[in-house]
Amino acid sequence: MIGFRHTDPRYPFLWEHPRQPAARWHAEGEAPAHYFSDTPDGAWAELLRHEEITAPEDLPGIRRALWAIDIGDEPAVLPGLPPEVLTGGPETWRDCQEEARRLRAGGVTGITAPSAALLPGAARGWRVDGGLQPGPDRDGKVIVLFGSRPGLVGWATTVAGRPGEDLLYRVRYF
């Protein structure tokens, strides 16, 4: 499976040290945790959501690297939490972190969860049929791999890019 993630262009596509800031599926001191989206739009939506970018005029200021990474098989483990927690704001992170901690204690090294950043059906992509047309609705996913992953291979799809304006309306903001 190919996973997508955005980064500051000055840094590699994976965390290599434990100083990673806490996020939905890991707390302080539980890094590294590597977050991937199943689509490029999902990766961009994560940036837009966390930076609270909602206006088209703010998009030209974005300069991020977008990576495509071969992450192997998609983890079959799904967190056992209700949808409103899986897609909620930072106030739900503690519940997600506790669930991830429980799963890791049982030997789980990766999880798949619904995208908290994309609205339902918004990972649809595009197709060509008399010009560019929206693809069929599809829900986005996030894949989280825990621990060091030096064997993953990634390709920079853009070094200093930004998302398209149409994505602003498909993001689930805080």
What lies within 8 Å, CB to CB, of 4 at 6+ separation is: 36, 37, 38, 39, 40, 42, 43, 66, 67, 68, 69, 157
Average pLDDT of the chain, as a whole number: 96
Residue 48 pLDDT: 97
Mean pLDDT across 102-126: 97
Residue 44 pLDDT: 98
Residue 17 pLDDT: 82
Residue 79 pLDDT: 97
Residue 15 pLDDT: 93
What single string gives the DSSP state of each residue in 65-131?
A: EEEEEE--SPP-----S-HHHHT--GGGHHHHHHHHHHHHHTT--EEEEE-SSBPTTB---EEESSS
Q: Kindly report the pTM of this predicted structure.
A: 0.94
From first CA to last CA, the distance across the chain in angstroms is 29
Mean pLDDT across 87-110: 97
Residue 69 pLDDT: 98
Mean pLDDT across 140-152: 97
Taking the C-alpha atoms of residue 162 and residue 128, their distance in angstroms, rounded to an integer, is 22
Query: With bands split at pLDDT 50, 70 and 90, how would you rate the model's confidence at 18?
Result: confident
Span 28-58, pLDDT tens digits: 999 899 999 999 999 999 999 999 999 999 9
| Domain spans in the chain, listed from the N-terminal domain onward | 2-170
Does residue 19 carry a pLDDT above 90? no
What percent of the chain is predicted at pLDDT more than 90? 97
Does residue 8 carry a pLDDT above 90? yes
